[in-house]
A and B are shown apart, each in its own frame.
Chain A
């Protein structure tokens, strides 16, 4: 019979109070876990996907929207730019590599991206099966798409108009899967790559009610945006200004825009963080009150144990241990709930592009366990110190 077993038994005797306290701690920790996990994952994703891209050029509009649509494939594109202007820009001597993008269609929510082989080298893509697209209506799909849509090399599928799940399918032309990409852990896992010609072909006149509008689009040959890598870092200053001032297009820097995006999300994260800290403070108070109240009832128990030969230090740890058991098991339960909750959120998440996962661990979680320990110590130290004040002889002879 050690003091660990004794304190566990004491806690089990007051199941409801113990349960309430554990849940309180767990709740605070779970919220913090979700925040930590989600913000790290979002930060990582933002960074990874924009890794080698210095600049995005697209139609005028919101720069953030341009970045979101062309790099993270979340928002809608700002519009289209004339192919002629784009080609001119791509041949600029300051540009080391330029990758054109033609967006507008999807397959079961996965975006179909018309591009060229520059995209492959920009993201360092590799194949696990088949080959890269070469002709019109051939598609190379990301690992995530293959898994979710159960597509294999040689399968055919119809793209749908729009960027999210839509029933408006391009029934006239079917894509053929020619290759499947290796999982990269970034956005390309959820994309369907094809050539720009295929995207044009989809929108050729003669098929649906969008006819008139599409006709104009195609006859002028437009694309959505260009991803640009500079030849030298010096271009950071000159090139975007040149684009913004002398052309009808706009240039947006992924680094700047993701920083701006993150500072916007940051306000919400900060608020939630304080909320979670408040819950944890309340849980500390609750643990303290229950231990403190229990001390009144336990005074006899403790005096008896002293008379049976337990030292003050031992009983001090007994009370401390009760507080620590509650908060540490609360913290561990909270971590578990946090991961589980995030995993469930991820499961029901609609945008496959920014999918989060609960099977991800950050070092900050260790701090949460430590926080659990600290809360336990803070909450139980006052009740535990009372051990040193209990007069055994008096306590035991008082209850006549």
Chain B
């Protein structure tokens, strides 16, 4: 279970952003909606432990995120939160298999080869494991980054504008994959978006 309480944050000489309290139960799937500039990315960064808020608390399964030290936080994030960025951000010098396996080893989890292979084949990438990122299409890369976010069986899967750079068909696909994979891996899902195509696809919405 994830909860945020009385969060506020302000950037240097910017307006103060206030976030309504929010509770996400296990395996719930949420849309985080809001116009650009409303603080969607900021909230996602705070929830994923990347940005310390000025005030307020973030709890993930009874752990107060911002009471952890920097190092504990890095490890906790690696093991409990899977993040899918707008761009896939894969490591160019590693092949697809290694890119996914890297997430395990960086989070201090033993690499589970069959887990990596299963994930990749469930995303239709079983024949690309030895390829390098530059040999894949944008849509395929996005799927690799989904596999990477899921490899450590996180409690929470966060996707930041996952569809904004994709065409209708691919956007639909990615959405389907996200909801399906989150369910299969028993993870809660938060998708931040201002993409009209995504609206109404999930039943829970958090508005900024």
The chain A residues found within 8 Å of chain B, CB to CB, are: 1-2, 6, 9-10, 12-13, 300-301, 303-314, 392-393, 396-397, 399-400
Contacts and interface: CB of A to CB of B under 8 A. Distances in A.
Given A1-B101, A392-B50, A397-B45, A310 B74 contact: yes
Contacts, number: 79
Given A1-B101, A6-B102, A397-B45, A309 B108 contact: yes
| Cβ-closest 8 pairs across A and B | A309-B78, A309-B107, A393-B45, A13-B93, A310-B106, A9-B93, A393-B50, A393-B51
Interface residues of B, number: 35
15 contacts: A1-B104, A2-B105, A6-B94, A9-B94, A301-B89, A301-B91, A304-B91, A306-B74, A308-B148, A309-B78, A309-B103, A310-B106, A397-B45, A399-B87, A400-B86
Given A13-B92, A397-B160, 16 more contacts: A1-B104, A1-B111, A9-B98, A301-B89, A303-B89, A308-B78, A309-B75, A309-B103, A309-B107, A312-B74, A313-B71, A396-B50, A396-B85, A397-B45, A399-B87, A400-B86
A10 B94 CA distance: 8
A397 B79 CA distance: 22
A270 B111 CA distance: 54
A351 B77 CA distance: 70
B93 A12 contact: yes
Nearest to A302: B91
Nearest to B72: A311
B102 A307 contact: no
B8 interface: no
Contacts of A6: 91, 93-94, 102
B71 A311 contact: yes
Contacts of A396: 50, 85, 89
A303 B41 CA distance: 15
B83 interface: yes
B181 interface: no
A1 B100 CA distance: 11
Given A13-B93, A396-B89, A399-B87, A305 B70 contact: no
Contacts of A306: 50, 74
A305 to B, nearest CB: 6
Nearest to A305: B106
A399 B101 CA distance: 24
A306 B91 CA distance: 12
B70 A312 contact: yes
Contacts of A305: 91, 102, 106
A309 B86 contact: no
A275 B51 CA distance: 50
A1 B102 contact: yes
Contacts of A12: 93
Given A1-B98, A309-B79, A393-B51, A304 B89 contact: yes
B48 interface: yes
Nearest to B88: A304
Contacts of A311: 70-71, 74-75
Contacts of A399: 86-87
Interface in B20-62: 41, 45, 48, 50-51
- Among B75, B76, B102, residue most surrounded by chain A Cβ atoms (within 10 Å): B102
A314 B105 CA distance: 12
Nearest to A399: B87
A107 to B, nearest CB: 62
Contacts of B83: 307
Nearest to B151: A308
A314 B45 contact: no
B131 to A, nearest CB: 14
A8 B90 CA distance: 17
A396 B104 CA distance: 20
Contacts of B71: 311-313
Contacts of B75: 309, 311
Interface string B104-119: 1111100100000000
A93 B103 CA distance: 88
